Structures are given as structure tokens and as C-alpha cells.
């Protein structure tokens, strides 16, 4: 039988039950995603990395960056390459074609360029040197195929020796690129 003297105890019991139910239904707290750890390199010196899902603002591409001199003349966007590869993505050939057109323009007619391949610091020094050289050579191959004379293009590779990316490993994307610069031009022609 419900009496007025039992009402406060009943209310306290109902309140305790509702708080217990609310706490039990609360989602578990989100834990920060741990930083991926690099395994030891394989026998070929290449790291095999299990990549987590991309976070907002991340990419896994290699960029083609233009020196200020040639970028000023050509006004080209960044070109991307597949991760751990020297092959540009198919859609990036449009930007490479635009670079070809710019190199054929009267303002850059006869100008020489240098392609500098770069790599992020993962992998052995020898592997990174080879990969960055392949990246620069592949861009040169594409430009020559499009009609730019090979003697106007020099290539070199820095491997990861000039890498600027730091931990976490997601910042390494900046180092996976080929830089394009004019050779022997004090300022961009107008």
C-alpha cells in the first residue's frame, strides 16, 4: 500500500534507477587512434605498411611541385602520383599536358628545366634514392613523349636526404613529389 511516508523513498528509488539506466546506456568514451607503427623493413628494404583509414585532410599521393619561377609563368595546379609509385594517376596527365603546353609557349620556348625526385624518410636510403629517381625519370618520359626535347630536361634525385616531413607519418606526403624548376633563368620571363 502506498502511503505518504513511503513516497520520498519511492521517489529516491526511481531517481536512482533512472540514473543507473542512463549511465549504463552511455556510449563508451572515444579513444584516440594510435599512431601507426612502422614494422621492420622486409629483406628488400621496403616497408610494408598497413594504412589506417584516411583522416580529414590526408592524402597518399606524390605531388609535382613547380618552382616559383615556372609556376608564375604556367599557373598550374599540383599533380599527384600513386603512393609508393612513380606513375602519375590517370587524371593527373591533364596537368602534365598543361605543363607541356606551357613549356612550348613563347615565354618558355627553349627554356631548360630540372626535375628533382623526392621521397619521404621511410624505407632504406638506397630504396628512397631509386624511387625518387624513378619519379623524376617518369615525369621526364611523359614530357618527352609529349614533344618536349629530352635535352631541355635534366633529372636528379634527393631520396629522403632533404625530407622535411616529421612525425606523425601523415605529414610525409609533402616529401613524395617531383619538383620542377627552370635552369639558368634569373627570373620568370613575362
What stretches of 113-156 show up as alpha helix (H) in DSSP?
125-145
DSSP assignment letter at 87: S
Task: Indicate the pTM of the whole model.
Answer: 0.58
DSSP-derived pairing of the beta strands 62-66 and 177-183 = parallel
Radius of gyration of the chain (CA): 28
Q: What is the mean pLDDT of each run of 10 residues along the chain (190 residues)?
A: 60 58 54 47 53 48 61 61 64 74 84 87 86 89 91 91 64 75 60
Instruction: Let me know: does 137 contact 146? Beta carbons within 8 Å.
Output: no
CA separation for the pair 166, 183 (Å, rounded): 30
CA separation for the pair 104, 98 (Å, rounded): 10
- pLDDT score for 96: 78
Instruction: Answer whether residue 113 is part of any domain.
Output: yes
- pLDDT score for 108: 84
Q: Which three cell numbers stand for residue 91?
A: 587524371
Instruction: Answer whether residue 111 is part of any domain.
Output: yes
Q: How many domains does the chain have?
A: 1
CA separation for the pair 87, 120 (Å, rounded): 16
- pLDDT score for 51: 43
Instruction: Let me know: does 38 contact 169? Beta carbons within 8 Å.
Output: yes
- pLDDT score for 189: 42
**Apex CA 39: angle with CA 33 and CA 42, to 5°?**
150
Look up the CATH number of the domain holding residue 167. 3.30.1330.60
Instruction: Answer whether residue 102 is part of any domain.
Output: yes
Q: Which three cell numbers stand for residue 173?
A: 606526403
The H or E element spanning position 68 is helix 68-74
Instruction: Answer whether residue 167 is part of any domain.
Output: yes
**Helix, coil or strand: residue 127:** helix
Residues shown for the chain = 190
Q: Which three cell numbers stand for residue 86?
A: 612513380
Instruction: Answer whether residue 18 is part of any domain.
Output: no
Instruction: Answer whether residue 41 is part of any domain.
Output: no
- pLDDT score for 17: 56
Instruction: Answer whether residue 96 is part of any domain.
Output: yes
* Strand order, beta sheet including 62-66: 79-81, 62-66, 177-183, 112-117, 153-157
Q: Which three cell numbers stand for residue 119?
A: 621521397
Q: Which domain holds residue 97?
A: 62-183
Instruction: Answer whether residue 119 is part of any domain.
Output: yes
Amino acid at each position: 500500500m502506498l502511503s505518504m511516508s513511503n513516497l520520498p523513498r519511492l521517489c529516491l528509488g526511481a531517481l536512482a534507477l533512472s540514473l543507473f539506466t542512463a549511465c549504463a546506456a552511455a556510449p563508451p568514451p572515444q579513444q584516440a587512434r594510435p599512431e601507426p607503427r612502422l614494422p621492420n623493413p622486409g629483406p628488400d628494404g621496403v616497408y610494408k605498411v598497413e594504412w589506417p583509414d584516411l583522416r580529414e585532410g590526408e592524402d597518399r599521393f606524390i605531388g609535382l611541385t613547380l618552382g616559383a619561377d615556372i609556376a608564375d609563368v604556367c599557373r598550374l595546379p599540383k599533380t599527384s602520383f600513386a603512393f609508393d609509385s612513380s606513375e602519375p594517376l590517370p587524371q593527373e596527365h591533364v596537368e602534365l599536358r598543361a605543363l607541356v603546353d606551357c613549356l612550348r609557349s613563347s615565354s618558355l620556348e627553349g627554356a631548360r628545366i630540372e626535375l628533382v625526385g623526392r621521397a619521404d624518410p621511410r624505407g632504406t636510403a638506397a630504396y628512397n634514392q631509386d624511387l625518387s629517381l624513378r619519379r623524376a625519370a617518369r615525369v621526364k618520359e611523359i614530357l618527352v613523349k609529349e614533344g618536349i626535347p629530352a635535352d631541355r630536361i635534366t633529372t636528379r634525385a634527393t631520396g629522403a636526404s632533404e625530407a622535411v616531413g616529421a612525425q606523425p607519418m601523415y605529414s610525409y606526403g609533402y616529401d613524395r613529389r617531383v619538383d620542377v624548376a627552370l635552369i639558368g633563368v634569373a627570373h620568370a620571363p613575362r
